[in-house]
């Protein structure tokens, strides 16, 4: 049975994944071992052999028939010991990321080696074992994160934008990270700087591997250095490339990959999209106690990768050549990805105010939605709503019945310029709402939470109000700059989809748009997820009239519509 280094780990915490030792390090029965052995080959290892090292990619899956393996973090620090009928690995078996652990043979051992391709077959062919393995992998990764077994250390001043950016980027990508701040741990910072021969002026730094150092790296540099940016195969022609890994993109990846389509997902930041920044989604079916957007995204990511989807982050799409077949997608590093079909799932970003402290209070006082969840946070309090459109008006009406008073902050000189008449009348007749025309927010302050909001009116006078919840209803901007020369967009820049063969097909055949980026979409997690699943049947139907991989050299056309091509089923993945 696996055991852990108890110096590091508190067994008293019931939420501690190490407390679920039997699930984190399960032991196959002899019958299960026999089933597993059908997918691999027996190999003998000698004491002292290294199975793989931290930082290595493309590692195989091993099951111990006889012997002992020690798991370390790449130093002498032992994390676990695996013995007979137990298996190696964690989430990196589902993708091409580098290993976080080094595995050393502790006594002469006999192992079943299952190569990655066969491992995928095992997952699809043996659902009971797949569940056991997937759960163990998730718990092992959670353990890495919860126990500071960091892949990287970010050293710098707290509350500085680059330190926050790196922390957010690594956390949103599920990379265990340890933060060391000058303000709270000066001794440790000096010790680290000394060790890496750096100076205080070099901060912020990222320290990883064997004392390797990056000075204020970009997200892209960070992803490459830590080995979690997967290479995109530019030679391959994918069945479907999905741009954007928010709820819509991840959902379509799950359905596409599970239908056997060669699927690539790219995202410029991290899986999860806007939902990833929500601390709790309470209206998504099946989670009565709510679920954080990040947890939901992590599950979807693993699920799609289990079926064989490739997810590459951080990668931005900058241009689409949609008149060619296969479709060509240009990434920010100028590499070109080829695909037989493409799904645009790049979502939208809510308009923000250019004001100090906004990010500090996002989610803890600054809101972009006015649902019952947010309303419950401000019962019997004064609140501020910023915006003069219908969404601001609806939010004002709704929240005025649940809060003590609503201050509606509007930049223009009349609500009638931007809001429907019926809403204007209701707002004007409400005693619960005060409209501040030609007024702008000038300050946000508070210690841990938003406490005060300051605004300036047209006569130049400023006033400060004790307000802990402010709603920004300034509209959403679609992430479609990269599509402008290619697809029909509506007046606000959202992708127009009105083709008879599919609700989600754009002005170009074989290119689809789903989720918040689609013109007329309902901006919700559930609808994005639903569209992600539905679109795949349209993609499959389209692909069934397209040349397959095997034919690409002989019959791929360079332009035109595919309607006259004879029906050929899409190839199945090798998994």
Ligand X SMILES: Cc1cc2nc3c(=O)[nH]c(=O)nc-3n(C[C@H](O)[C@H](O)[C@H](O)COP(=O)(O)OP(=O)(O)OC[C@H]3O[C@@H](n4cnc5c(N)ncnc54)[C@H](O)[C@@H]3O)c2cc1C
Q: Which residues bind ligand X (CB under 6 A)?
A: 243-249, 266-269, 273-275, 277-278, 281, 283, 316-317, 345-348, 350, 368-369, 479, 482, 515-517, 523-526, 528
Compute the distance between CA of residue 529 and CA of residue 525 in angstroms, rounded to an integer. Answer: 6
Compute the distance between CA of residue 163 and CA of residue 182 in angstroms, rounded to an integer. Answer: 11
Q: What are phi and psi of 286, to 5 degrees?
A: 100, -5
User: What separation, in Å, do the N-terminal and C-terminal C-alpha atoms of the chain show?
Assistant: 31
| Cβ contacts of 35 within 8 Å, gap of 6 or more | 126, 129
Nearer to ligand X, 52 or 368 (CB): 368
- Burial group, residue 550, by CB count within 10 angstroms (0-12, 13-18, 19+): exposed
Compute the distance between CA of residue 151 and CA of residue 453 in angstroms, rounded to an integer. Answer: 39
Nearer to ligand X, 247 or 308 (CB): 247
Nearer to ligand X, 71 or 166 (CB): 166
CB of 192 to ligand X, least distance (A): 31
CB of 370 to ligand X, least distance (A): 11
Angle in degrees, 0-180, between the axes of helices 116-125 and 127-146, rounded to the nearest 10: 120
Cβ atoms within 10 Å, residue 428 = 10
- Closest listed residue to residue 543, CA positions, set 236, 232, 243, 260: 260
CB of 573 to ligand X, least distance (A): 23
Nearer to ligand X, 239 or 516 (CB): 516
Q: Token pair of 190, please?
A: 């000096």
Q: Token pair of 197, please?
A: 């021969």
CB of 399 to ligand X, least distance (A): 16
CB of 1 to ligand X, least distance (A): 40
186 DSSP assignment: H
Residue that has been written with the tokens 């689609």 in this structure: 518
Cβ atoms within 10 Å, residue 161 = 9
Nearer to ligand X, 39 or 169 (CB): 169
Compute the distance between CA of residue 297 and CA of residue 285 in angstroms, rounded to an integer. Answer: 15
| Cβ contacts of 23 within 8 Å, gap of 6 or more | 135, 136, 139
Compute the distance between CA of residue 303 and CA of residue 297 in angstroms, rounded to an integer. Answer: 10
Q: For residue 532, what are the CA distances in angstroms to 270, 480, 536?
A: 18, 18, 7
Distance of CA 127 to the CA centre of its chain: 26
17 DSSP assignment: G
Q: Token pair of 170, please?
A: 């690594």
Nearer to ligand X, 110 or 371 (CB): 371
Cβ atoms within 10 Å, residue 299 = 15
CB of 145 to ligand X, least distance (A): 20
Nearer to ligand X, 136 or 383 (CB): 383
Nearer to ligand X, 153 or 377 (CB): 377
CB of 261 to ligand X, least distance (A): 19
CB of 8 to ligand X, least distance (A): 34
Nearer to ligand X, 130 or 330 (CB): 330
CB of 351 to ligand X, least distance (A): 11
Nearer to ligand X, 69 or 366 (CB): 366
Nearer to ligand X, 279 or 464 (CB): 279
Q: How many residues does the chain have?
A: 575
CB of 267 to ligand X, least distance (A): 5
- Closest listed residue to residue 451, CA positions, set 437, 430, 427, 467: 467
CB of 516 to ligand X, least distance (A): 4
Nearer to ligand X, 143 or 343 (CB): 343
Alpha helices, H only, 226-288 = 247-258
Nearer to ligand X, 143 or 311 (CB): 311
- Closest listed residue to residue 268, CA positions, set 315, 318, 301, 223: 315
* Maximum alpha-carbon separation in the chain: 83
CB of 3 to ligand X, least distance (A): 39
Query: What is the CA angle 163-164-169, rounded to 5?
Result: 100
Nearer to ligand X, 250 or 409 (CB): 250
CB of 570 to ligand X, least distance (A): 24
Compute the distance between CA of residue 173 and CA of residue 175 in angstroms, rounded to an integer. Answer: 6
Going by their DSSP bridges, the two strands 41-45 and 102-114 should be labelled as antiparallel
Nearer to ligand X, 174 or 273 (CB): 273
CB of 315 to ligand X, least distance (A): 6
CB of 275 to ligand X, least distance (A): 4
Q: Token pair of 515, please?
A: 């989720």
- Closest listed residue to residue 531, CA positions, set 293, 251, 277: 251
């Amino acid at each position: 049975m696996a055991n852990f280094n108890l110096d590091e780990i508190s067994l008293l915490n019931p939420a501690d994944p190490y407390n679920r030792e039997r699930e984190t390090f399960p032991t196959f029965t002899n019958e299960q071992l026999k089933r597993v052995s059908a997918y691999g080959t027996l190999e003998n290892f000698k004491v002292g052999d290294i199975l793989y090292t931290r930082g290595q990619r493309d590692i195989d899956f091993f099951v111990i028939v006889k012997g002992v393996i020690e798991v370390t973090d790449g130093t002498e620090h032992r994390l676990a010991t695996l013995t007979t009928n137990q298996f190696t690995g964690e989430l990196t078996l589902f993708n091409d990321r580098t290993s976080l652990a080094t595995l050393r043979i502790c006594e002469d051992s006999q192992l079943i080696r299952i190569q990655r391709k066969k491992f995928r077959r095992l997952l699809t062919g043996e659902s009971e074992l797949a569940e056991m393995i997937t759960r163990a992998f998730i718990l092992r990764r959670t353990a890495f994160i919860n126990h500071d077994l960091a892949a990287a250390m970010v050293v710098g001043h707290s509350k500085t934008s680059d330190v926050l950016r790196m922390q957010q980027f690594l956390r949103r990508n599920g990379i265990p990270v340890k933060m060391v701040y000058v303000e709270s741990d000066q001794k440790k910072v000096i010790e680290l700087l000394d060790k890496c021969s750096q100076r205080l002026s070099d901060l912020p730094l990222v320290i990883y591997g064997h004392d390797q150092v990056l000075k204020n790296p970009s997200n892209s540099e960070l992803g490459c250095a830590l080995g979690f940016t997967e290479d995109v195969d530019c030679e391959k022609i994918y069945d479907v490339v999905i741009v954007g890994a928010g709820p819509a993109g991840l959902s379509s990846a799950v359905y596409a990959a599970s239908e056997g389509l060669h699927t690539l997902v790219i995202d410029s930041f991290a899986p999860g999209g806007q939902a990833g920044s929500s601390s709790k989604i309470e209206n998504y079916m099946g989670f009565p106690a709510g679920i954080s957007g990040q947890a939901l995204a992590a599950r979807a990511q693993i699920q799609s990768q289990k079926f064989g989807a490739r997810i590459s982050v951080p990668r931005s799409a900058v241009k689409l050549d949609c008149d060619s077949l296969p479709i060509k997608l240009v990434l920010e590093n100028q590499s070109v990805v080829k695909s037989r079909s493409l799904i645009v799932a790049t979502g939208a970003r809510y308009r923000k105010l250019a004001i100090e402290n906004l990010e500090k209070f996002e989610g803890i006082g600054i809101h972009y939605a006015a649902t019952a969840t947010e309303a419950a946070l401000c019962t019997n309090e004064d609140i501020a709503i910023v915006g003069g459109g219908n969404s601001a008006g609806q939010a004002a009406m709704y929240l005025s019945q649940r809060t003590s008073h609503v201050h509606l902050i509007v930049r223009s000189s009349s609500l009638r310029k931007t809001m429907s008449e019926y809403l204007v009348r209701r707002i004007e007749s409400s005693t619960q709402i005060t409209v501040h025309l030609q007024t702008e927010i000038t300050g946000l302050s508070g210690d841990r939470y938003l406490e005060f909001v300051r605004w300036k009116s047209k006569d130049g006078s400023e006033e400060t109000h004790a307000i802990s919840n402010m709603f920004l209803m300034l509209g959403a901007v679609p992430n479609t700059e990269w599509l402008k020369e290619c697809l029909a967009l509506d007046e606000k820049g959202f992708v127009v989809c009105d083709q008879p063969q599919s609700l989600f097909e754009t002005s170009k055949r074989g290119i689809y748009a789903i989720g918040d980026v689609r013109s007329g979409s309902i901006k919700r997690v559930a609808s994005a997820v639903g569209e992600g699943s539905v679109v795949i049947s349209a993609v499959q139907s389209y692909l069934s009239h397209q040349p397959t991989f095997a034919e690409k050299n002989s019959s791929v056309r360079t332009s035109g519509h595919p309607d006259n091509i004879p029906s050929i089923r899409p190839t199945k993945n090798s998994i």
